[in-house]
Structure formats: C-alpha cells, structure tokens
Amino acid sequence: MGQPLRVGVIGVGMMGADHADRLVRRIAGADLVAVSDPDVPRATELVEGLRADGAADVRVIEDPLELIADEGVDAVLIASPGFVHPEQLMACIEHGKYALCEKPLTMDAESSWEVVQAEHRAGRPMIQVGFMRRFDPEYAQMKELLDSGRLGRTLLLHQTHRNKSVPNPEFRSEMIVRDSMVHEVDVARFLLGEEITRIQVLSPAPTSAAFEGVADPQVSVFTMAGGSVVTNEVFVNCQTGYEVRCEAVAERGTAIAGRPWAGLYTTVAPDVAEDLGQWGGSVDPDFRVRFERAYDLEVQAWVDASRRGEVVGPTAYDGYASTVVCEAGMASLASGEPVEVKLEARP
C-alpha cells in the first residue's frame, strides 16, 4: 500500500495523548508526524517524550486547521473537545483528509447533519467515528453470533456502563447522556442493525458521590425499529472501577460481553452446541485499560483503510444518528417522559 500513513493528532489531552503513544508504539503502517493543542507546552512535552522513546520527528503545530492543511499530513485523528469538531471535520473534508474523530461527531444534531451532507457532496466517505466498542473482540464476537441467527431473534439488550468517579465539578447530568450513554446508543444500533425510535431516561435517587444536582446513575430505555427493547444503566461515580458489559437476550439463548473475565459468556438452548463461559479476572481501573485492545484494533483498522482509500467502522451518519438520540435523551432526562427519535434519511 505504499508509504506509511502520515498522521496528525489534534488534541493531546488524556485520549489524544493515548492515541499518539499508540500510533508510535503499536500501530503498523503509520507515522505520527504532527500534533496540535491549544496548550502548546503540553503538546511539546508529549512530543519530547515520544522522541526520547525513538519516535521520528514529530512537529507541534499550534493551529489545528494548519495541521489539517499541511501537505505532510495524510490523515487526522481528532481528539479535541466536541464543540470544535464541526470546523475541524469540515476542514478535513475540504482538504480530502481521512479523519478518525472521537465521539461525539459534534455537539448537536444540526451540525452533525451538516458534516454528513458535506461529506456526501465531496463524493466519498472520509470520516470514521471513534465508537471503539465495535472493535472490541467480545462485542465483535457477539455481533457475529447474533447475526448468524443461531439464537433466533434478539429480543432484549441490557447494557451496563460504570465509571469509578468523575472529579470535574463542572460535570452535569446532561453530560452522562451526551458523553457516556452515546456509546450504548451506538452499540444498540450496531448489534441490532436498526435505528432507535424512542428513548426514555429515568433518574433514580442519586449517589452521594455525585456533585450536587447531578442525576447519577441514570437508566435509559430504547425502543428499536424492529420492536426490540434496550435497557441501559450509566453510573459514572460507582466508586469501584470501570465496568462495561452488554447482555443480549434472544429467542434461543443469551450472550454476555464484558464480564470481568476473558471471553464471551453465553447461555444457550440445549440444541445449540456452544458454551463459552469462563471465570476469573478483575475490574479494570479506567476505560483505557478496559478497551485498550479495542482502541488498538480501531486505530489499526482506520490506518489500513485510509491507506486503501476507504472508510471502515462507524460512519459520519452513525455519529449523526447517535447525536440525535442523545439530544432526545437529554429532553427525556429533563421531562422524565419518552421522546420520539426522528432521523434524516441516510444519504
């Protein structure tokens, strides 16, 4: 596929720095060539550390739009805050640069739809959204099992998403929907292969570990286009560790991904000859540990596809659809009532 993909990273906070390190240490066929962040000293410190570990020359480019336009950059990994994503994604489309954009695609449905339309006008897909659970081996195995039809029709999904703590005093209830539950939105669409038509978000009595006024945990219910129902618990101050799992309940068996031991856990009807149950393991401390392998596979798939001139994984439309569902979810959080989800047709 020719020369390595020359990648620039925008945003070098926790996620961007992790991706920069990943590109240098564990991703084949790619060279990290530039980083950009408003905190130039932080970006410079990151680059110096990578150089000390044997990385090739990596430039610090203060202006992210300058990084995108740079002829020495082939593709861009966007890990900046969501409110600047529209401008940066539009620039990637304008310059014909493949982009891996961390969620959310944008902060609102209108700007997400504008990105989808701009990419469509450009005549080719260029954007992959960072819903890394699609690349997690257990989730991918569950998708394959459900699609095979061996368990019959999938009736229910039960999703659990727990984080040890959120120390940011500016964190609000709506952010649980927009920044955390968005992953459950994408997993439901991915595993079931259909859209969410209605969402209701419920708020039980909050944990004492949450900041004043923050509704944590939250329970949401999705109604899918085909009639399946998805329940979701999101608890961002659970105090114990990082737990993410999903149970699929089908007509002829169940499957659980993400239990704190290796491998997909299943229960099956007597005539289904596969049992993948295992025991052992521990709860991971944070998302970088729990989904390290998924992130590796996600970024490697993006690099390989970009070098081929393709896009794999979640698309800009997937990012748009998740944003629309989360907007409806925030409305439901405020009212306590179910809210219908209305999507524009996929271009």
Three-state SS letters, the chain: CCCCEEEEEECCCHHHHHHHHHHHHCCCCEEEEEEECCCHHHHHHHHHHHHHCCCCCCEECCCHHHHHHCCCCCEEEECCCHHHHHHHHHHHHHCCCEEEECCCCCCCHHHHHHHHHHHHHHCCCCEEECCHHHHCHHHHHHHHHHHHCCCCCEEEEEEEEECCCCCCCCCCHHHHHHHHHHHHHHHHHHHHCCCEEEEEEECCCCCCCCCCCCCCCEEEEEEECCCCEEEEEEECCCCCCEEEEEEEEECCEEEEECCCCCCCEEEECCCCCCCCCCCCCCCECCHHHHCHHHHHHHHHHHHHHHHHCCCCCCCHHHHHHHHHHHHHHHHHHHHCCCEECCCCCCC
For residue 339, list its beta bridge partners. 199
3-state secondary structure 237-257: CCCCCEEEEEEEEECCEEEEE
Give pLDDT, residue 286.
Answer: 84
Number of neighbouring beta carbons within 10 Å of residue 204: 12
Give pLDDT, residue 265.
Answer: 66
Give pLDDT, residue 268.
Answer: 57
Whether domain 5-129+294-314 has CATH 3.40.50.720: the reply is: yes
For domain 133-283+323-340, give its CATH number from 3.30.70.100, 3.30.70.1400, 3.30.360.10, 1.10.10.10. Answer: 3.30.360.10
pTM of the model: 0.91
Give pLDDT, residue 22.
Answer: 95
Give pLDDT, residue 59.
Answer: 95
Give pLDDT, residue 197.
Answer: 98
Q: How far apart are CA 240 and CA 105, in angstroms?
A: 30
Give pLDDT, residue 259.
Answer: 83
Position 17: which residue type? A
Q: Which residue, 187, 204, 176, is CA-closest to 326? A: 176
229-235 and 243-250 beta bridge pairing: unpaired
Q: What is the pLDDT along the chain (347 residues), one digit of tens a residue?
A: 579 999 999 999 999 999 999 999 999 999 999 999 999 999 999 999 998 776 778 999 999 999 999 999 999 999 999 999 999 999 999 999 999 999 999 999 999 999 999 999 999 999 999 999 999 999 999 999 999 999 999 999 999 999 999 988 999 999 999 999 999 999 999 999 999 999 999 999 999 999 999 999 999 999 999 999 999 999 999 988 899 999 999 999 999 999 876 667 665 555 654 443 444 446 677 888 889 999 999 999 999 999 999 999 999 999 999 999 999 999 999 999 999 999 999 99
Q: What are the extents of the domains in the chain?
A: 5-129+294-314, 133-283+323-340
Give pLDDT, residue 104.
Answer: 95
